[in-house]
Amino acid sequence: GDSVTQMEGPVTLSEEAFLTINCTYTATGYPSLFWYVQYPGEGLQLLLKATKADDKGSNKGFEATYRKETTSFHLEKGSVQVSDSAVYFCALSDTGANSKLTFGKGITLSVRP
């Protein structure tokens, strides 16, 4: 079945550091890939997505490229801010009717001033 594997956390960075959060996936079809972010005390919200191979999703300075050859969708940001402190979830949804969203376990990012 479909699955998403995220790197183990938590991650603690200093402000303006470079961020990479790894995500790899297993899927039987042609999935769309997503990054969702959960700020403290809130529900999840979509950060970015990519629907086909080599697509790059971007938002708020974050980027992720859909790599079919390595089945990966790593999240990057060149310079993190304290306000980026949150839990980040990688997710996929395979094509087909009634398709579901499969989430990774999430990783907590803390950015210190």
Partner 1 sequence: NAGVTQTPKFQVLKTGQSMTLQCAQDMNHEYMSWYRQDPGMGLRLIHYSVGAGITDQGEVPNGYNVSRSTTEDFPLRLLSAAPSQTSVYFCASSYSYLQYQETQYFGPGTRLLVL
Considering only residues 12, 26, 45, 79, which one is a binding residue for partner 1 as defined by CB under 8 A? 45
Binding segment for partner 1 among 14-22, 35-43, 61-69, 74-82 (CB under 8 A)? 35-43
Q: Does 101 bind partner 1 (CB under 8 A)?
A: yes
Could you tell me if 34 and 92 are in contact, meaning their C-beta atoms sit under 8 angstroms apart? yes
Q: What is the chain's percent helix, strand, coil content, to nearest 5?
A: 5, 50, 45
Q: Does 89 bind partner 1 (CB under 8 A)?
A: yes
Whole-angstrom CA distances from 79 to 23, 53, 75, 94 are 19, 26, 13, 32
Considering only residues 43, 69, 70, 113, which one is a binding residue for partner 1 as defined by CB under 8 A? 43
| Terminal-residue alpha carbon distance, the chain | 41
Residues at the site binding partner 1, with contacts judged by CB under 8 A: 31-32, 36, 41-46, 49, 51, 89, 93-101, 103-106
